[in-house]
Amino acid sequence: MEIGSDSYKAMLSIMASKLSYENQDFVKSVLHDHWKMDFLGFYSCWNGYQKLKSTEAIVLQDTNTDPNLIVVSFRGTDPFDADDWCTDFDLSWYELKNVGRIHGGFMKALGLQKDGWPKEINLDQTQNGPQYCYYTIRQHLRNILDKNPTSRFILSGHSLGGALAILFTGLLAMHEEEKMLKSLEGVYTFGQPRVGDDQFGTFMKNVLKKYDVKYERYVYCNDMVPRLPFDDKTLLFKHFGPCLYFDSFYRGKVDEEEPNKNYFNLFWAIPKVLNALWELTRSFILPHWKGPEYREGWFFRCFRVIGLVIPGLPAHFPNDYINVTRLGGSPLQFHESPRSTLHED
């Protein structure tokens, strides 16, 4: 894999997304001792509606291979954190004029204020003061770009983190942060849920095209989260932009939507269970086929067993998304055509 290529950035993004689930000391240790990259920040940010710090993100600099590249990765849903689940299941709409309707829980996690989204707020950077995710990270990026105008950054995240990454981009556009958007090289999301309605999707497609920002939305096989909230006449949630879909053999294709887009379909029940059985079997085969670094622990294999009952649950974990970027070929380079095919290095 060529260092600095799109496939490298996708792999770096999912690795950073997985790392964002860890505590600050662990993140520092991995970046300094193993990745040889600079740790620029660990943010635990305030959700003014939940009245607690529930949104986390890490910022790193790829000094080892591309010193101008900054990676911001938002943490996804912690499966053992009830507050994260409350964010995911807050399906209230937050409407922005001329932009569209957006998932209310995700907006609150990013730092929605009582008076909406003012362009600027007074950032209290004292130890005990609240930090709001969007405003705090935006200011950090502003400082970096002021010191080094040639810096570029990418946004990434797994699950809820992917939703926050693409919504962060939407807020930059809404606030007309042109300098920052011109330095935004790409948004890489993995297992991202739907974030808004059709109008918001149109708004975002125009923004991404205008500023030439890559948006690569990875979906692995039967992962249920990208198929939520439902795209139906009741909930009206829509994905936008091409889906980079990979099956359980890590073969990729690009389409407008992942197969079985709303997950719950009786016609897919038996194929999903059979696929979950193959994924369990594959967990024993892959280390011998591709190498010991693909070995899965017994804890995760237990989730593979649960997948026989709830297919698509273990498919959401970052492990398969890491394998997708390593084994699935180069990610799509696209701007307009949703029907392009993935190409190999």
**At residue 334, does pLDDT exceed 60?**
no
| Chain position carrying tokens 């000391």 | 25
For residue 284, give every residue at least 6 positions away whose Cβ sits within 8 Å of its Cβ, in sequence order, or none: none
Which listed residue (103, 158, 239, 316) is catalytic? 316
Q: What is the DSSP string of 69-92?
A: EEEEEE----TT-HHHHHHHH---
The bridge status of strand 243-246 relative to strand 252-255 is: antiparallel
Which listed residue (223, 283, 320, 330) is catalytic? 223
Q: Which residues of 79-107 are buried (b: 16+ CB within 10 A; e: fewer)?
A: eeeeebebbbebeeebebeebbbbbbbbb
Look at residue 126 in the predicted model and tell me its pLDDT: 47
Mean pLDDT of the chain: 90
**At residue 308, does pLDDT exceed 90?**
yes
Structural contact between residues 189 and 157, judged by C-beta atoms closer than 8 angstroms: yes
**At residue 331, does pLDDT exceed 60?**
no
Which listed residue (159, 183, 283, 330) is catalytic? 159
- What pLDDT, in 10s, does the model give residues 105-131? 999 999 999 999 999 998 765 456 689
343 catalytic residue (yes or no)? no
- The model carries a pTM of 0.93
Identify which has the larger pLDDT, 37 or 67.
Answer: 37
Look at residue 344 in the predicted model and tell me its pLDDT: 39
- Residue 46, φ and ψ in degrees, nearest 5: -85, 135
175 catalytic residue (yes or no)? no
Q: How confident is the model at residue 343 (pLDDT cuts 50, 70, 90)?
A: very low
Look at residue 333 in the predicted model and tell me its pLDDT: 44
Segment among 114-123, 244-253, 269-278 with least mean pLDDT: 114-123
Look at residue 83 in the predicted model and tell me its pLDDT: 75
Give the whole-number percent of the chain exceeding pLDDT 90.
79
6-263+317-327: CATH architecture: 3-Layer(aba) Sandwich (3.40)
- What pLDDT, in 10s, does the model give residues 228-247? 999 999 999 999 999 999 99
Q: DSSP 3-state assignment of 160?
A: helix
223 catalytic residue (yes or no)? yes
Q: Which residues of 272-281 are buried (b: 16+ CB within 10 A; e: fewer)?
A: bbebbeebbe
